[in-house]
Amino acid sequence: MHIGYDGKRAVQNNTGLGNYSRLLAAVMARRFGGDRFTLYAPRPRTTPRLAPVLEAANVELRGPE
């Protein structure tokens, strides 16, 4: 299954909703390794807190196209 996820908070927030968003994405990617997860953000960029989530082979970060 391919799952799209609102990654705005994972990218832009360092605490609170950002932590929750990154944790949820990381746990889902690890638990459901056979599925693909795409995090969508208005201004996608890798941050030190997001980098570990994006290391999973089944997670990608994308912006508007």
Phi, psi of 3 (to 5 degrees): -115, 125
Q: Mean pLDDT throughout 43-65?
A: 95
The C-alpha angle 29, 32, 34, rounded to 5 degrees, equals 100
Q: Which helix (H) or strand (E) holds 5?
A: strand 2-6
Q: pTM for the complete prediction? A: 0.89
> What is the structure's pLDDT at 12?
96
CA dist 64 and 62 (Å) reads 7
Spatial neighbors of 40 by CB under 8 A, at least 6 apart, are 4, 5, 6, 7, 8, 62, 63, 64
23-49 tens-digit pLDDT? 999 999 999 999 999 999 999 999 999
The reported pLDDT for the residue numbered 65 is 82
